[in-house]
Amino acid sequence: MKLPSEEIWRVLFMKKVEFLLFIPKSNGQIDRDLLLFTFLAIGGTMVGLGGNEYLAWGAFEIIGEVILACAGLACLVFSFNSVGDKEKLNGSFKGNLIFSESLISVEDKEFRLNDVLKMEFFLHDYDGMDRGYARYHSIPYISNGVGNSISLKMNDGTEEKFNFQLNYKNEFQKKMRDILISYHLQDKISFLALIQYIGISDSYELIQEFKKELEVLKRNGA
């Protein structure tokens, strides 16, 4: 079927934004730092039990002290050797997540906006972000920026979720603003979610200005 010339023009010049698609592993591997903290907890518990005068488990206290010493030494060694390291990439990149006003593409899948009931973004990560001591880490970690995701609730009741990478702080806000506005005007994301995604939720003045901008777009049939 041949597309009308106006539709061809629209498809060719449709704005698109791409992010790297991240596929997390689900192999259940043991986190090194969580293991160290587990040994520290076990050692501390054994020291506490061994020092209890009612139980009189002196051997527990000695073993607990040994475990605490070994686990503490291991934490120091790993911390010294890993300062400034990036968090381990537990997964792989595979293709792109592509957004446009009427279509979301993920590898060989395409989701038309008409088939999407609602969408939600979870944006709290970017490449190079200092993760601090999160997730039982014994040292501050630098993030790979893959802790972002989108959830699509489809009209047929199914749900799709995908992870993607952001390369720097506020990248999503800067690149996706126009497309997010389009999604809102198509009733796929709420106004409250929209102002959060574009980074103006904390400014009353900016929100009021943005409301005026939306009214103009609605009148113009954007």
In the prediction, which pLDDT does 220 show? 82
> pLDDT tens for residues 26-71?
654 445 566 666 766 666 666 666 555 544 555 656 666 666 666 6
Residue 178 lies in a domain: yes
> For residue 20, how many other CB atoms are within 10 A of its CB?
17
> pLDDT tens for residues 63-75?
666 666 666 665 5
Residue 89 lies in a domain: no
Q: Is the pLDDT of residue 100 over 60?
A: yes
Same domain for 102 and 17?
yes
In the prediction, which pLDDT does 40 show? 62
Q: Percentage of the chain with pLDDT > 90? A: 51
Same domain for 108 and 54?
no
Residue 9 lies in a domain: yes
In the prediction, which pLDDT does 8 show? 40
Residue 19 lies in a domain: yes
Same domain for 113 and 49?
no
Helix/strand number for the chain, H first, E second: 6, 9
Give the span between the Cα atoms of 36 and 133, in whole angstroms. 14
Report DSSP state, residue 201.
T
- b or e along 40-74 (b: 16 or more beta carbons within 10 Å of the residue's beta carbon)? beebeebbeebeeeeeeeeebbebbeebbeebeeb
Spell out the residues 6+ positions from residue 79 whose beta carbon is closer than 8 angstroms to its own. Answer: 138, 139
Helix, strand or coil, per DSSP, at residue 126: coil
Residue 89's nearest CA partner among 172, 18, 23 is: 23
Domain count, the chain: 2
Q: Whole domain around residue 165: which residue ranges?
A: 5-24+96-219
Q: pLDDT tier at 201 (50, 70, 90 boundaries)?
A: very high
> pLDDT tens for residues 145-186?
999 999 999 999 999 999 999 999 999 999 999 999 999 999
Choice between 136 and 159, residue whose per-residue pLDDT is larger: 159
Give the span between the Cα atoms of 210 and 222, in whole angstroms. 15
Same domain for 66 and 103?
no
In the prediction, which pLDDT does 196 show? 96
Helix, strand or coil, per DSSP, at residue 124: coil
Residue 185 lies in a domain: yes
Q: Percentage of the chain with pLDDT > 70? A: 62
Same domain for 210 and 105?
yes
